[in-house]
Amino acid sequence: MGLIAPGITAAGVSSRPVTLRHPLLALENVFDDLFELMDVVHSGMVETLCHIIVATHHE
């Protein structure tokens, strides 16, 4: 099983003690990546919509 964050694996929490800080940092990283992905998708959608508007306007 892969390591998700220090002390946390895909199988569950390891036997070594883990502070709450590590899971919160891992969660923060997940949300940062998610918001970055949403920005990329949103930018792509806006760009595509602009191309469609320009293409239909020229017809």
Instruction: Calculate the CA 12 to chain-centre distance.
Output: 21
d(CA 34, CA 37): 5
Tokens (6 digits) for 55: 């293409």
The pTM of the whole model exceeds 0.75? no
Q: Does residue 57 surpass a pLDDT of 80?
A: no
More confidently predicted of 40 and 10: 40
More confidently predicted of 15 and 23: 23
pLDDT at 1: 46
pLDDT at 21: 72
